[in-house]
Amino acid sequence: MFALRHLIPVAFRALFRIVFSSLLFAVVAGGITLGVAYAATPKWPPGALTIAAAAVIAILAGYAAGLTTLIREVIRGFKDAERDVAHRVEGEVSRHEHIHA
């Protein structure tokens, strides 16, 4: 029960971070692509090929940011679980030593 009560908020926090970072990087990458295209050929609105390239770059940047955030959250989860287990074991050892002392 302890693990499930700990896992649900962590999962929602991780999901929020993944979605936020994916959207942020997708918007930034798409904007930079359109900005560079406008700087190269000062014509607005850009052509269909430029918009397609910006969309592909935005999707790839969002995907990469989402996966990177997912890996970071998984590693953070393992570290937190390790810390919790170590804390509980240390508490049990100290309690056991106090009883037998």
- pLDDT tens digits for range 6-59: 778 888 999 999 999 999 999 999 999 999 999 999 998 999 999 999 999 999
Q: Which pLDDT score is estimated for 101?
A: 63
Q: Which pLDDT score is estimated for 14?
A: 93
Query: What's the average model confidence in pLDDT over 81-98?
Result: 82
Tokens 């908020």, residue?
A: 9
Tell me the pTM.
Answer: 0.80
Give buried/exposed letters for 17-53 (b at 16+ CB in 10 A, else e). Answer: bbeebbeebbeebbeebbeebeeeeeeeebeeebeeb
Q: Which pLDDT score is estimated for 3?
A: 66
How is residue 47 written in tokens?
A: 């052509």
Query: What's the average model confidence in pLDDT over 77-90?
Result: 85
